[in-house]
Amino acid sequence: MPIAFRFTWSPFIATVLVVALGISLGNWQERRADEKIATRARLAQGAASAPLVLTGAPRAVADVEFRHVTVSGQFVRDWPVYLDNRPYQGRAGFYLLMPLRIAGSSLHVLVQRGWLPRDPLARTRLPAFDTPAGTVTVEGVARRDSGHVLELGAGPALTAGAIVQNAGPLQVARASGLAMAPFVLLQSAPARPGGDDLRMGREWPASGMNPEKHQGYAFQWYALAAMAVIFFVANGFRRGKSGQH
Residue 26 and residue 62 share a domain: no
pLDDT band (50, 70, 90) for residue 244: low
Mean pLDDT, to the nearest integer, of 209-226? 87
Which pLDDT score is estimated for 121?
A: 85
Which residues neighbour 209 within 8 Å (Cβ) at sequence distance 6 or greater? 36, 39, 40, 43
Reduced to 3 states (helix: H, G, I; strand: E, B; else coil), residue 124 is coil
Residue 180 and residue 123 share a domain: yes
Q: How many domains does the chain have?
A: 2
Q: Which long-range contacts (CB under 8 A, 24 or more apart) does 234-242 make?
A: 235/11, 236/5, 236/6, 236/7, 236/8, 236/11, 237/3, 237/4, 237/5, 239/6, 239/8, 240/3, 240/4, 240/5, 240/6, 241/3, 241/4
pLDDT tens string 81-105 = 999 988 888 888 999 999 999 999 9
Which comes out higher in pLDDT, residue 237 or 46? 237
Which pLDDT score is estimated for 205?
A: 67
Residue 83 and residue 140 share a domain: yes
Which pLDDT score is estimated for 133?
A: 87
For residue 109, being part of any structural domain is answered with yes
Residue 131 and residue 242 share a domain: no
Radius of gyration of the chain (CA): 26
Which residues neighbour 81 within 8 Å (Cβ) at sequence distance 6 or greater? 96, 97, 98, 158, 160, 161, 162, 164, 167, 172
CA–chain centroid gap for 163, Å, is 19
Residue 70 and residue 175 share a domain: yes
For residue 64, being part of any structural domain is answered with yes
Which pLDDT score is estimated for 194?
A: 65
Residue span of the structural domain in which 16 resides: 1-48+205-209+220-245
Residue 98 and residue 76 share a domain: yes
b/e code 147-171 from CB counts within 10 Å (16+ = b): beeeeeeeeeebeeebbbebbbbeb
Residue 127 and residue 56 share a domain: yes
Distance CA 199, CA 193 (A): 16
For residue 207, pLDDT over 80 is answered with: no
Q: pTM here?
A: 0.72
Cα 196 to Cα 50, 55, 131, 138: the distances in Å are 25, 23, 6, 11
Q: Are 35 and 241 in contact (CB under 8 A)?
A: no
For residue 56, being part of any structural domain is answered with yes
Residue 143 and residue 72 share a domain: yes
Mean pLDDT, to the nearest integer, of 68-90? 92
Residue 152 and residue 73 share a domain: yes
SS3 per-residue string spanning 17-40? HHHHHHHHHHHHHHHHHHHHHHHH
Q: Are 82 and 95 in contact (CB under 8 A)?
A: yes
b/e code 192-204 from CB counts within 10 Å (16+ = b): eeeebebebbbeb
